[in-house]
A and B are shown apart, each in its own frame.
Chain A
Amino acid sequence: MMLLAVLSGFLLAFAVPVLCRLAGSYVGWLLALLPASLTVYFASLIPAISGGETLLFEHQWLPGLGITLDFMVDGLSLVFALLISGIGTFILIYAGAYLAGHRYLARFYVIMLSFMASMLGLVLSDNLITLFVFWELTSITSYLLIGFNHEDMEARKCALQGLFVTVAGGLALMAGLVLLAIMSGSYSLSEILSSDMALHEHAFYTAAVICILAGTFTKSAQVPFHFWLPNAMAAPTPVSAFLHSATMVKAGVYLMARLNPSLGEGELWSQALMAFGAATMLTGAYLAFSSTGIKKVLAFSTIMALGTLTMLIGVGTELALTAFICFLVAHSLYKGALFMIAGALDHETGTKDITRMGGLRKAMPLTAAIACLAALSLAGLPPLFGFIAKELLFESLLDSPLWSAALTTVAVAAAVLIVGVAGLVAIKPFFGKVGNTPKSPHEAPFGMLVGPAALSVIALIFGLAPFLPEGALLQSAVSSVNGASVETHLALWHGVNVPLILSIGSLVLGLSLLSGWNRLQPSIYAINTTAARFGPEAGYFRFMEGITIVAAWQTRILQNGVLGLYLLLLVAVTFGLTGFTLLTHHGITLTLDLTDSHFYEWGIALLLIVAAIFASATQSRLGSVASMGVLGFGVALTFILFSAPDLGITQLLVETLTVILLVLVLFRLPEFVNLSSPFERYRDLAVAAFAGVVMTLLILAAQDVQYFESISSYYIENSAPLAYGRNIVNVILVDFRALDTLGEIFVLSLAALGVLSMIKLKAEDQYKP
């Protein structure tokens, strides 16, 4: 059931092109049925989880490699699964309206559903490798979605940037996960989490933490990797709302929360999370306040939220983890809603620029109301859930065992800026003077409003009755991040205390900042352009340029297109190393028993030698190809003589086809000329002779050495009883080692596609030397 739930997104993705044709403009509603039913399914697990259980669903995948498709559901993963499927439902409906009539709507839904399924797989996986596979799938689907408007050069560039940053982090993450598995002795998360080993005392701890954090920081856009996230706004708005606010960027946060019970005891972990989180929080809040495009504003405020979440995991007290879960839920709700509102504004007014919007509340009253509700939660005002989260944030920072004063100061500064940001998205566009927008605005369609409305109302309900989500799920989620069960006490009203005073103070300061926003813009702009020249994004571009330069250099040296050189290097290195190993490990054997050899064997050997010499000495290409064919047939004969008919037949057929292919190519080659100098020819001869000598010695040595027990007796014995086949070669190919064959036919196909594109490109004369 769980397996189906996770993979259903991929399955439905296959049917999308057909469904799009059948359902027409209702396709969004139709497809939303899947995440909606997933939400119901996940919700049905709540009772068990809130009772403190952890559910394990076991499925084998590649048992030989210890890779399973086990899924683990506890409080944390269930919160994420519900957010993904719940918000996903509204996003699919919304996208149907937002992209109505788009040429590539079907393609969009295919990628979107695959993304949703990958994300579910990520948060539910119990196996580290499976988790990593899903992690990379989210990077790839996100790349496709950011570059969805692929005719736009800018979109392609941004998509590639997001891909490079997250995949580079992904590589580090893989190393980190492997280290984690070595340290704990298991690839299963549930086993790692339930073992009471002191991982932070292990020698690999520092390396593992650095590698894992490199992965999560890039994915969750922490400073200094934050620059890719705002650029990802090149994606259509439903994508931004889903991937870059509610889900994908939270994957990193999820993994940190997931591993917190195991890794959180080390100082490196908590200090790194606090430092980077706090820096990200402040940077994000400042950049959000200083942007003018509505999607950029929201993107930077997402960075601020991601920083806050990271920092809270780092603080790590029970209070901080409670704040973490509440902030996570609150942020997903309001940010999903606000992004969809931003899309509606863009869709109806034709611009993303806040400075051009104003007074829209008359034209779009419903949108305005929803935006205000969601923005209240963003600003952290009662009675919304965002308020509870922010109060908890302040309270836990005041209570932090480490760096309490510094973190609180940073958090208050960020809160001030975020109040301003909330004003930017809710007050500026809808109130004040009527702006001058490219399109004359009117109310957004129903499909675009139902999502944000539902999410804002949920935030309101959670704010008014915090015991609802708390009892159902949040408490067990906090417990799973903490690693031991936690009692939480959420309430809207805590009485007059320090956090409340900080909240009021930040509200007042934020509003006064907002009123001065227009005047501050020019100087902020000047600061930002100067900073951009030295910022991490400039570093990214310099790094990418560096890679291109190195690539160009090594291509010039190693891959200069002279095939003879490739061959020379390949042969020299391979046989040099083989010869070295042979000499050092075994020595030279020169004994050869020729007593029971037959005269026809001598005949074949002679034929082979003559053909080889002729092939390398002749001036005629056709003659050379033909003698290569003779050589091949001679080898085939040898196979047949030593009773390997399968190999013989294959060799024969391959030789025939090779000769045919070579003949086809021969026609297009220029006249034969001697281009190489005598020195080069003698050098090549020397290398070739060396290779031949090493190979001969190797075969002589192989006769009386056996390092391992041969596996062929196993195949011979078990081929018929286990695989019902008497032809061992074929049984090995399609049964015993079918995975290898599968890999080989994929390689074969890639080679075919490579040849095809090479020939086609040449035929169109795209690249003239």
Chain B
Amino acid sequence: MKSNTLILHTAALFIMPLQLMFSVFLLFRGHDEPGGGFIGGLVASGAFVLYAFAFGSEATRRILRVAPRDLLSAGLLFALASTIPAFLAGQPMLTAHWWELPLPGDGYLKLSTPLIFDIGVYAAVLGTIMTFVISLMESDE
């Protein structure tokens, strides 16, 4: 299934990168403002779903570069990887670890295991929805 309207094609090409950027923005600011991995993942899947409607599942697979299923497992691995620092430090599972890296200028880059965990959630959500959508679309063809 793919649409042949010019408007959708053009719009999708413009909106998708914006939406993806927005999803990453939501992901990173999630700890302090509304957002987070779950919401970011949903917005990103919205972007890819739009692309899939415009250009079909084959093209979406190409632009995703990895199979949705692998995205799913990557998400789970990220989430599990975020438990490693606490494990090595002998702390309870999923105890948060924070690192502040000084940036050029007077900014700080705040990195943490909850962030890694959230990236995992993002990828898992994106992977789940893309698995749904792409397999549904492909069973049409």
- A residues apposed to B, CB below 8 Å: 59-64, 645-646, 649-650, 653-654, 656-657, 660-661, 664-665, 667-668, 723-727, 729-731, 733-735, 738-739, 741-742, 745-746, 748-749, 751-753, 755-756, 759-760, 762-763
Q: Mark B1-37, 1 if CB is under 8 A from A, else 0.
A: 1000000000000000000000000000011111111
Docked complex Cα distance between A742 and B94 (Å): 10
19-67 of chain B: CB within 8 A of chain A: 30-39, 42-43, 45-46, 49
Chain A binding site: helix, strand, loop or mixed by DSSP? Answer: helix
Contact between A749 and B112, CB atoms less than 8 A apart? no
**Most chain A CB within a 10 A radius of its CB, from B39, B72, B117:** B39
Docked complex Cα distance between A748 and B127 (Å): 10
Considering the complex, give the chain A residue whose CB is closest to the CB of B91.
A60
Contact between A738 and B42, CB atoms less than 8 A apart? no
- Specify which chain B residues have a CB less than 8 angstroms from the CB of A741 in the assembled complex: 79, 117, 121
Contact between A724 and B98, CB atoms less than 8 A apart? yes
Contact between B34 and A649, CB atoms less than 8 A apart? yes
- Specify which chain A residues have a CB less than 8 angstroms from the CB of B69 in the assembled complex: 752-753, 756
Query: Contacts A660-B133, A734-B118, A762-B139; is A739 near B46 (CB within 8 Å)?
Result: no
Contact between B36 and A733, CB atoms less than 8 A apart? yes
Contact between B131 and A729, CB atoms less than 8 A apart? no
- Specify which chain A residues have a CB less than 8 angstroms from the CB of B137 in the assembled complex: 664
Contact between A60 and B90, CB atoms less than 8 A apart? yes
Contact between B139 and A763, CB atoms less than 8 A apart? yes
Considering the complex, give the chain A residue whose CB is closest to the CB of B36.
A730
Apart from the given pairs A725-B114, A759-B135, 12 other A-B contacts in the complex at a CB distance below 8 Å: A645-B34, A657-B49, A660-B49, A664-B137, A665-B136, A723-B96, A727-B35, A733-B38, A734-B31, A741-B79, A742-B80, A748-B124
Considering the complex, give the chain A residue whose CB is closest to the CB of B96.
A735
Considering the complex, give the chain A residue whose CB is closest to the CB of B117.
A734
Nearest chain A CB to B129's CB is how many angstroms away? 6
Contact between B72 and A749, CB atoms less than 8 A apart? yes
* Those 3 A-B pairs whose CB atoms lie nearest each other, nearest first: A653-B42, A725-B31, A730-B36
Contact between B132 and A752, CB atoms less than 8 A apart? yes
- Specify which chain B residues have a CB less than 8 angstroms from the CB of A752 in the assembled complex: 68-69, 72, 127-128, 131-132
Contact between B117 and A756, CB atoms less than 8 A apart? no
Query: Contacts A724-B112, A742-B79, A749-B72; is A759 near B90 (CB within 8 Å)?
Result: no
Nearest chain A CB to B73's CB is how many angstroms away? 8
Considering the complex, give the chain B residue whose CB is closest to the CB of A722.
B96
Nearest chain A CB to B34's CB is how many angstroms away? 4
- Specify which chain A residues have a CB less than 8 angstroms from the CB of B118 in the assembled complex: 730, 733-734
Nearest chain B CB to A64's CB is how many angstroms away? 7
Instruction: Kindly identify which residue among B33, B92, B98, B136 contacts A60, using a CB–CB cutoff of 8 Å.
Output: B92
Contact between A661 and B32, CB atoms less than 8 A apart? no
Instruction: Kindly identify which residue among B42, B72, B112, B115 contacts A657, using a CB–CB cutoff of 8 Å.
Output: B42
26 CB contacts below 8 A, A to B, read A59-B90, A646-B35, A649-B34, A650-B38, A661-B133, A664-B133, A723-B114, A724-B31, A725-B114, A727-B31, A727-B32, A733-B37, A733-B118, A734-B36, A734-B114, A735-B114, A741-B79, A742-B79, A748-B124, A749-B124, A749-B127, A751-B128, A752-B132, A755-B132, A762-B139, A763-B138
Q: What total count of A-B pairs have CB within 8 Å?
A: 144
Docked complex Cα distance between A735 and B93 (Å): 11
Contact between B36 and A738, CB atoms less than 8 A apart? no
- Specify which chain B residues have a CB less than 8 angstroms from the CB of A726 in the assembled complex: 31-33
Nearest chain A CB to B108's CB is how many angstroms away? 12
Chain B binding site: helix, strand, loop or mixed by DSSP? Answer: helix
Contact between B36 and A727, CB atoms less than 8 A apart? yes
- Specify which chain B residues have a CB less than 8 angstroms from the CB of A63 in the assembled complex: 92
Task: Report if B140 contacts A (CB, 8 A).
Answer: yes
Nearest chain B CB to A747's CB is how many angstroms away? 10
Task: Report if B84 contacts A (CB, 8 A).
Answer: no
Considering the complex, give the chain A residue whose CB is closest to the CB of B26.
A649
Contact between B93 and A745, CB atoms less than 8 A apart? no
Contact between B31 and A745, CB atoms less than 8 A apart? no
Considering the complex, give the chain A residue whose CB is closest to the CB of B118.
A734
- Specify which chain A residues have a CB less than 8 angstroms from the CB of B43 in the assembled complex: 653
Docked complex Cα distance between A742 and B35 (Å): 18
Docked complex Cα distance between A645 and B34 (Å): 6
Contact between B117 and A727, CB atoms less than 8 A apart? no
- Specify which chain B residues have a CB less than 8 angstroms from the CB of A650 in the assembled complex: 38-39, 42
Considering the complex, give the chain A residue whose CB is closest to the CB of B86.
A60
Docked complex Cα distance between A725 and B117 (Å): 14
Instruction: Kindly identify which residue among A725, A727, A729, A746 contacts B76, using a CB–CB cutoff of 8 Å.
Output: A746
Considering the complex, give the chain A residue whose CB is closest to the CB of B80.
A742
Contact between B135 and A739, CB atoms less than 8 A apart? no
Instruction: Kindly identify which residue among A664, A735, A745 contacts B136, using a CB–CB cutoff of 8 Å.
Output: A664
Contact between B34 and A725, CB atoms less than 8 A apart? no
- Specify which chain B residues have a CB less than 8 angstroms from the CB of A661 in the assembled complex: 132-133, 136
Docked complex Cα distance between A61 and B96 (Å): 15
Nearest chain B CB to A61's CB is how many angstroms away? 7
Contact between A756 and B46, CB atoms less than 8 A apart? no
- Specify which chain A residues have a CB less than 8 angstroms from the CB of B92 in the assembled complex: 60, 62-64
Nearest chain B CB to A685's CB is how many angstroms away? 31
Docked complex Cα distance between A733 and B45 (Å): 20
Contact between B131 and A756, CB atoms less than 8 A apart? yes
- Specify which chain A residues have a CB less than 8 angstroms from the CB of B131 in the assembled complex: 752-753, 755-756
Docked complex Cα distance between A63 and B72 (Å): 29
Nearest chain A CB to B46's CB is how many angstroms away? 6
Contact between A730 and B76, CB atoms less than 8 A apart? no
- Specify which chain B residues have a CB less than 8 angstroms from the CB of A725 in the assembled complex: 31-32, 114
Docked complex Cα distance between A729 and B29 (Å): 13
Nearest chain A CB to B126's CB is how many angstroms away? 11
Nearest chain B CB to A656's CB is how many angstroms away? 6
- Specify which chain B residues have a CB less than 8 angstroms from the CB of A59 in the assembled complex: 90
Docked complex Cα distance between A668 and B4 (Å): 20
Docked complex Cα distance between A232 and B63 (Å): 48
- Specify which chain A residues have a CB less than 8 angstroms from the CB of B75 in the assembled complex: 745, 749
Docked complex Cα distance between A381 and B2 (Å): 80
Considering the complex, give the chain A residue whose CB is closest to the CB of B136.
A664
Docked complex Cα distance between A667 and B1 (Å): 10
Docked complex Cα distance between A159 and B69 (Å): 29
- Specify which chain B residues have a CB less than 8 angstroms from the CB of A755 in the assembled complex: 131-132, 135
- Specify which chain A residues have a CB less than 8 angstroms from the CB of B37 in the assembled complex: 733-734
Considering the complex, give the chain B residue whose CB is closest to the CB of A644.
B34
- Specify which chain A residues have a CB less than 8 angstroms from the CB of B124 in the assembled complex: 745, 748-749
Considering the complex, give the chain A residue whose CB is closest to the CB of B94.
A738
- Specify which chain A residues have a CB less than 8 angstroms from the CB of B93 in the assembled complex: 61-62, 739
Contact between A733 and B133, CB atoms less than 8 A apart? no
Docked complex Cα distance between A646 and B117 (Å): 18
Nearest chain B CB to A735's CB is how many angstroms away? 5
- Specify which chain A residues have a CB less than 8 angstroms from the CB of B129 in the assembled complex: 657
